[in-house]
Structure 1
Amino acid sequence: MRQFTAVVNPTAGGAAGAAALLRVAPLLRAAGAGLETEYSRDLAHARELAREAGRRGRVVLAVGGDGIAGCVGGALSGTGALLGLVPAGRGNDFARALGLPADPAALARLLLRGEGRPVDTVEVTSAVHDRTVVLGSVYAGVDALANRHANHARVLRGTASYYTGALRAIATWRAPAYRVTVDGAEHTYRGYTVVAANSGYYGSGRRIAPGARVDDGLLDVVMIRDAPKRLFFALMNELRAGTHLHRPQVRVVRGREVRIEADRAVPCGADGEVEAVLPVTARVLPGALRVLC
């Protein structure tokens, strides 16, 4: 029977992480599984807890949102350890891409009996972060600024914080000149963002890269060019269904390594948490992590 170590982010949606684990934990223990719980002080501490649990041969559960999933998954990338997710954040986009069930009983069955599936991870390097490994996507532009506003919101939580953060970011956005190099091919434009997507979802269910697959060894690089702000708001609404790809302002290319630069210090994010500024390089690590899904 599997032995689990749950790494809980106590800040993900307030007490949502602990509450989500409480719904699953009795089902795991009733089946005879061992479960220990570790509460992280911050992302660096969560990485330490995950690596230690993995070294002891335990299945590591990331309990929280995309930030803790990317942090724990990144820490286990390349180690052979097995990762499970207990989604409890605002976005849960990587869990959505994996098709994880929301029902606690179904999730517990998956954690107990599911097979470890190899998925890709993404190595990110920048002037701020020498090397960070994440799971979902790396994005640089108005979306990173919106996410920063959402993370620092004091009143609104959940999806509402994303909407208000996006409105605030778009209202003040000035389109930088991007230079995006994908496997040696250079693309230049002025625009709103560039997203190097391993997962098809980001920003709480938005299908930024509908064709992205977590196990194809490639990143889907989505580039959104400059446009009137009223058109960009319409494009944002189309992200839910993924129909924004039909817009002439949107281009998608695929590759293994992406270098993103701009003519000013554009904010950059990854998995809803990692904050940096351009330039940044993202490189896919094919099949580097085993996940229960």
Structure 2
Amino acid sequence: MRAVLAVHPGSGGGAAERLKGVVAARLRERVDRLELWTGDPAGAAGGDLLVVLGGDGAVHQAVQVCAGTGTALAVLPAGGGNDFARALGIPLDPLRALDTLLDALASGRRRVLDLGRADDGCWFATVLCAGFDAAVARLAAALRWPTGPHRYDVAVVGELARFRPKPVALSFDGDRWELEATLVAVGNTGYYGGGIPVCPAADPGDGLFDITVVGRAGRADLIRLLPRLRTGAHLAHPAVRTVRAREVLIEGNGWPVVADGEPAGTVPVSVRCVPGALAIVL
């Protein structure tokens, strides 16, 4: 087996950089050949296994390399959010995740997952969002302090003062909704924003997205609604609608769009669920 270890030095405040030597040494005990790669793994395509030591941004880059290919992905979470690992039950401690990976390599254990794909060819593994949550994610990514999930809390406060609902049209599997909305989240898995279960029932093996739409909500409504997002209780709020679909088109305004926490343009955007697009060792 030829494996590549892609290390993102800045992930987790430098945690990935500090751990790379230990991780590489232990991986070499299980694979025939290991290459060490720093930063974006786009140039590391072609191996049997791509191991990512980093956060969700690193996973997003790796998914672009592995999707629809013969290269399997493995994730050792070392970032601030780690939502992909959380959704799949991968230990959030990178060394515990390494133990799990080594056991999976010894036994040949792996899983095949669905991925989302946007009309521009961008793949996503967790959640693609548009509207308030995308604006929050974009601001959080620009913050240098605080670190970890608390960045999102600070970004929420920053966006509450200026964000307003807008008309949006959603077309999915032959149906169409037109409404004033605050956010749209298209979930392949359930979490974003460092552990927020925005689409709590999303299953990356069922061939469908779980889509959560928050309708018209003013600042006071959002202040009351946002704490419910942390527990999944937001689904019971009267402003929230959910639907499951294979494809969805979001249009009607120029909202920012974020996929896996990374900027992905603006509305309009069309996405589809691609079953079995990613093999993962875990």
Same fold flag (TM > 0.5): yes
Corresponding residue for 1:6?
Answer: 5
Residues 276 and 174 of structure 1, relative CA distance in 2, 3 Å threshold: same
Residues 75 and 232 of structure 1, relative CA distance in 2, 3 Å threshold: same
Aligned-partner SS, 2:13: coil
Corresponding residue for 2:266?
Answer: 277
Corresponding residue for 1:101?
Answer: 91
Corresponding residue for 1:87?
Answer: 77
Q: Which region of structure 1 is more displaced relative to structure 2, 182-191 or 149-158? A: 149-158
Q: Aligned partners of 2:171 and 2:231: how far apart in 1?
A: 28
Corresponding residue for 1:289?
Answer: 278
Q: After TM superposition, give the deviation of residue 275 of structure 1 in Å.
A: 3.1
1:189 equivalenced with 2:179 (yes/no): yes
Residues 98 and 31 of structure 1, relative CA distance in 2, 3 Å threshold: same
Aligned-partner SS, 2:192: coil
Q: After TM superposition, give the deviation of residue 166 of structure 1 in Å.
A: 1.2
Corresponding residue for 1:123?
Answer: 117
Q: After TM superposition, give the deviation of residue 62 of structure 1 in Å.
A: 1.7
Q: Aligned partners of 1:5 and 1:101: how far apart in 2?
A: 21
1:21 equivalenced with 2:20 (yes/no): yes
Contact in 2 for aligned 1:225/1:250 (Cα 8 Å) = yes
State the TM-score, normalized to the length of structure 1: 0.89
Q: Aligned partners of 1:105 and 1:147: how far apart in 2?
A: 27
Q: Which region of structure 1 is more displaced relative to structure 2, 3-12 or 183-192? A: 3-12
Aligned-partner SS, 2:227: helix
Residues 21 and 250 of structure 1, relative CA distance in 2, 3 Å threshold: farther
Corresponding residue for 1:47?
Answer: 42
Q: After TM superposition, give the deviation of residue 152 of structure 1 in Å.
A: 1.0
Q: Aligned partners of 1:104 and 1:280: how far apart in 2?
A: 34
Q: How does 1:146-225 map to 2 (within 5 A)?
A: 146-225=136-215
Aligned-partner SS, 1:15: helix
Q: Aligned partners of 1:107 and 1:244: how far apart in 2?
A: 31
**Of 64, 69, 80, which residue of structure 2 is paired with 1:74?**
64
Calculate percent identity across the aligned residue pairs: 34
Q: Aligned partners of 1:268 and 1:87: how far apart in 2?
A: 24
Q: Aligned partners of 1:183 and 1:13: how far apart in 2?
A: 39
Q: After TM superposition, give the deviation of residue 34 of structure 1 in Å.
A: 4.2
Aligned-partner SS, 2:159: helix
Q: After TM superposition, give the deviation of residue 84 of structure 1 in Å.
A: 0.2
Q: Aligned partners of 2:145 and 2:93: how far apart in 1?
A: 29
Residues 291 and 155 of structure 1, relative CA distance in 2, 3 Å threshold: same
Runs of 5+ consecutive residues of structure 1 not aligned to the other structure: none
Tell me the C-alpha RMSD between the 2 structures.
1.8
Aligned-partner SS, 1:13: helix
Q: After TM superposition, give the deviation of residue 103 of structure 1 in Å.
A: 4.2
Q: Aligned partners of 1:269 and 1:8: how far apart in 2?
A: 23
Runs of 5+ consecutive residues of structure 2 not aligned to the other structure: none
Corresponding residue for 1:248?
Answer: 238
Counterpart residue identity of residue 7, structure 2: V
Counterpart residue identity of residue 92, structure 1: N
Contact in 2 for aligned 1:7/1:37 (Cα 8 Å) = yes
Q: Aligned partners of 1:199 and 1:31: how far apart in 2?
A: 29
Counterpart residue identity of residue 47, structure 2: R
Aligned-partner SS, 2:205: coil
Q: After TM superposition, give the deviation of residue 22 of structure 1 in Å.
A: 4.1
